[in-house]
Structure 1
Amino acid sequence: MEPYLFKPGRIPLLVSMPHVGTQLPEGLHERLTDEAQSLPDTDWHLPILYDFLEEVGASVLVARYSRYTIDLNRPPDDTPLYTTATTGLFPETLFDGRPLYRTGPALEPAARKARLEAYWRPYHERLEQTLAGFHAQHGIAVLLDAHSICSVVPRLFEGRLPDLNIGTADGRSVAPEISERLVATCAMSNYSHVLNGRFKGGYITRHYGRPASGYHAVQLEMAQCNYMDEEAPFTFREERAAALRPTLRRFVEVLADFARSGGRS
């Protein structure tokens, strides 16, 4: 079984969800601390929240395995993406800094290589092949990397995170007019937003976004309090989600319209 779920769409827009997985390799669950066993740093419930993607026509790529197995939004050489506190390709701490593992070293080099080949590489091969196929057929490929996070994580950022955090690698991963439209879409909502704040886009956005070549990538990091409980058991709250979805759909439609137009403004 592939370490991801993939559903093809009808337009050259791919929505990637690399941190929604909850499966773990055999033997890993027992090694995690009590706090880590509930998988608190998961991007919970995003496929349910984005339940309109098939109607929009987007392709969807969803990870099966937890980011505690390997982080699909980190580079394969584990080069740090941020100068501030973060987690790496093979996380050893929770977002709040507490240890991920009970005792002993996290992973031996051979195990790291095995996970890279078994989980990271297949996801990125599918991602790359899908975008290349879009570009070959339509002359454009558009990628939304969808994420969510607890709204308050003092180790990672001060205070409460804005509701909608748009990352475009400081403008390098997408055409500027699309950034402007996305910001305007968020500004029309009741949700706070920021462009290239604490979250500028991870490896996926930075690596696959090459607007000069017709590849456009955006990351959206959402504060989880807007659609779920942020403490275990991390319950999905449909009443909150129903309020958020219209804004979220308008955000996706900006990218969908751009993809359908072949990049013509």
Structure 2
Amino acid sequence: MNEFDGEQSAFEIVEPAQWRAPIIFNSPHSGSVYPQDFLTASRIDLEALRRSEDSFMDELIAGLSDRGFPVVRVHFPRSYIDVNREPYELDPRMFAGRLPSFANTRSMRVAGGLGTIPRVVGDGQEIYRERIDVDDALGRIEALYKPYHRALRRLINKAHQSFGSVIVVDCHSMPSIGLSRDEPRRPDVVIGDRYGTSCVALVPDVVEQTMTARGYSVGRNKPYAGGFITEHYGNPSSGLHAVQVELNRAIYMDERLRARSPRFDQVIDDFAILADALAEIPLGDLGSFQAAAE
């Protein structure tokens, strides 16, 4: 794991000189630094592994730190370890050795091969040639997963203490076509708010209105309602709001070539407009903790 010698190389948090609003933009799945031991253990090539990436999503939001919004980006790939899962969603069939008794081995995500240490990539291909040593898996959690979440939690707490409320915008991208032929055509943007539980309704409403006005087709919660980050950090009654934004990859990239498309710069501008719109939400409308306690 020498590719990641400490927190700062495993992920990056860019805070603005002055916060414009308590809005954090997070890209947990755009990492593209693949450890050599991982590549060696994989039965599929790098190009296949990269199908799980939210390619370029971190670039689409990178400039928001210059506009007064903190930006979080992960450098390690989600196929290596997925921070948008519980810390110990682990499939016992993948590992040599006994998992801790507290591991969640029965979640739907584990069943689908997409636990904390994924068994498959996004299109369903098996990743590993053979079983992984349990200590390797637990080592990834200690060295990468936990430091990332500690840092994200500190950033959220900082915003919450300063403003009384916070919005985490968890930024993802999705393949333009699902694995099932029966799935309807995917919209340009899918907003996930865990079916109304991870944030006040005003937040996804603003996202939908803003992106619709920019010409995007927008859906909610299907096929993506939000993962662990949205669920875990969203607690609207305490002024903690989390919303997942999934962008259709065909909008900004050539999926086959994994290359930025001519519309890439326009999407950057549209994310800036979205950030500005969210910043205009009055803090009182976010049910801040201080207001709720009065």
Separation in structure 1 between the aligned mates of residue 199 and residue 138 of structure 2, nearest angstrom: 32
| TM-score of the aligned structures, taking structure 2 as reference length | 0.81
For the aligned residues, what is the CA RMSD? 2.2
Where do 1:206-225 residues align within 5 Å? 206-225=231-250
Matched, 1:254 2:273: no
Separation in structure 1 between the aligned mates of residue 266 and residue 188 of structure 2, nearest angstrom: 13
Instruction: Tell me the alpha carbon deviations over residues 36-64 of structure 1, each in whole angstroms, 9 at most, x when there is no partner.
Output: 55512111112322243023311111101
Matched, 1:72 2:83: yes
Separation in structure 1 between the aligned mates of residue 206 and residue 223 of structure 2, nearest angstrom: 20
Q: Is the 8 A contact 1:70 1:90 kept in 2?
A: yes
Where do 1:1-265 residues align within 5 Å? 1-2=6-7, 3-9=10-16, 10=19, 11-38=21-48, 39-78=50-89, 79=104, 80=107, 85=112, 87-101=114-128, 103-105=129-131, 107-155=132-180, 158-232=183-257, 234-237=258-261, 239-258=262-281, 261-264=282-285
- Residue 177 of structure 1 and its aligned partner are, at CA, apart by 1.7
Q: Secondary structure at the match of 2:178?
A: coil
- Residue 241 of structure 1 and its aligned partner are, at CA, apart by 1.6
- Residue 223 of structure 1 and its aligned partner are, at CA, apart by 0.8
Q: Which amino acid aligns with 1:53?
A: L
Q: Is the 8 A contact 1:5 1:61 kept in 2?
A: yes
| TM-score of the aligned structures, taking structure 1 as reference length | 0.89
Q: Give aligned pairs, total.
A: 259
CA gap 1:247/1:154 in 2 versus in 1, 3 angstroms: same
- Residue 133 of structure 1 and its aligned partner are, at CA, apart by 1.0
Give 5+ residue unaligned stretches, structure 2: 1-5, 90-103, 287-294
Separation in structure 2 between the aligned mates of residue 83 and residue 72 of structure 1, nearest angstrom: 14
CA gap 1:35/1:161 in 2 versus in 1, 3 angstroms: farther
Instruction: Tell me the alpha carbon deviations over residues 159-202 of structure 1, each in whole angstroms, 9 at most, x when there is no partner.
Output: 43211010011111111122222222222232211011110011
Give 5+ residue unaligned stretches, structure 1: none
- Residue 218 of structure 1 and its aligned partner are, at CA, apart by 0.6
- Residue 29 of structure 1 and its aligned partner are, at CA, apart by 1.0
Larger RCO, structures 1/2 (Cα 8 Å, 6+ apart): 1
Q: Is the 8 A contact 2:62 2:71 kept in 1?
A: no
CA gap 1:257/1:221 in 2 versus in 1, 3 angstroms: same
Q: Secondary structure at the match of 1:111?
A: helix
Separation in structure 2 between the aligned mates of residue 130 and residue 137 of structure 1, nearest angstrom: 11
Separation in structure 2 between the aligned mates of residue 222 and residue 135 of structure 1, nearest angstrom: 27
Larger Rg: 2
- Residue 155 of structure 1 and its aligned partner are, at CA, apart by 4.9
Q: Which amino acid aligns with 1:249?
A: A
